[in-house]
Amino acid sequence: MHAVSAPRIFTGETFLTDQAVIIESGNIQQLCPVNQVPAGIPHHILRDGFICAGLIDLQVNGGGGLLFNEHTQSEALFQIADAHRQFGTTSILATLISDTPQVVESGIRAVKKAHQQNPGQILGIHIEGPFFNPARRGIHDTRFVRSPSVEDLEILATAGPAVHLMTLAPEQVDREFIHSLRQMGYHVWGGHSEASYQQVRAAIKAGLTGFTHLYNAMSQQSAREPGMLGTALAADQCWAGIIADGFHVHKNSIEVALRCKPKGKLLLVSDAMSTIGTDKKQFMLNGQVIREKQGMLVNQQGTLAGSAITLMDAVHYLVENLNMELEEALRMASVYPAEAISLGHVLGRIKPGYIANLIHIEKQSVLHSWIDGKLLEHRIGEAVCV
């Protein structure tokens, strides 16, 4: 048992002052006044800033110089996850973009192994493609975009106990395929799609529960055809991820989404690539050179190729550009992602019984992080132990 305290603690609901988090066996046992911390237990006292739940990113393609598609090993996953942890993301869904069945199979195996080693950090896998509409494939390689086969279903069925989320274009599959994925335990989200209102509504009825990078790579709204975008905005029961980096979505469009979606149903994702945690400004993706240009990642044709931000960057973007309260911006990166993948009862809040994934923020910098209650090394910052 040990304790962590800071001048303020954000629980996921509100800020508390002069409180300590008591941690035992990797979980939060209780919150209590600092002066009531049990005598004799280690106590990390943080003199400045605040503690909150670690951020949860449902769309992480890479980090630390690695892309998951190219490094489908559990060791690589922890290198990617650690790059994001330095910036406050303590839990990820490792994301595979469209690729061969063999890469998907290898990725599933890697995530299962990593999840067994640390289920609170490697939550599971997000398989983004390849069952897309070619017209909305974005940076995804046209060689891999296809319809699902029996082999694909057999591979997808091996995902195991880890969280598994699949992004697909509803018009490219039948309702039975979505139903089968749901039976396997998949969260099914729509994206990279030209689907009509009727097609999206039919997919929701079949089990689709969310939408990937809202606005981007999906049929747009018009007066007489809502498309995937308009249907997603009006579907109160569905979640939607959004990339708040100033490039993927105009800030006014984010404001529209915030007004349309019920509170808690719009969440932040990074869609981050391998550059996170490195000083690299370019990398290769399926034979294409991807460069960072004025904060964007683009190929030679100017097509966006994921993002160069962390989830904490997205939090700061909402606070600084949309005047959002810090509390709500943090919820969009912790509470709501956890709820979207059915982990809201164990992650995203500082609350008794929850996994002790925590971060310490001071002056917009993440100085410390804890995963399963263990204090992990950061590049800067130092706790005072008493």
Residues in CB range of 65: below 8 A, 6 or more apart: 79, 83, 274, 275, 277, 278, 280
| Angle in degrees, 0-180, between the axes of helices 101-117 and 74-85, rounded to the nearest 10 | 70
**ω into 130 cis (within 30 of 0):** yes
- Give 270's DSSP letter: -
Exactly one of 57, 152, 245, 271 is catalytic; which is it?
271
CA 163 from chain centre, in angstroms, equals 12
Alpha-carbon distance of 110 to 369, in angstroms, equals 24
| Residue 323, both tokens | 């005047």
Using CB atoms within 10 A of its CB, is residue 146 exposed (0-12), middle (13-18) or buried (19+)? middle
Q: In terms of DSSP bridges, do strands 296-298 and 288-293 run parallel, antiparallel, or are they unpaired?
A: antiparallel
Q: Which of 257, 274, 255 is nearest to 266 (CA)?
A: 257
Q: Does 271 participate in catalysis according to the annotation? A: yes
Buried-exposed string 323-336: b where 16+ CB fall within 10 A, e elsewhere: ebebbbbbbbbbbb
CA atoms within 13 A on the CB side of 260: 17
| Residue 40, both tokens | 């004799």
| Residue 96, both tokens | 């595979």
- Active-site residue set: 271
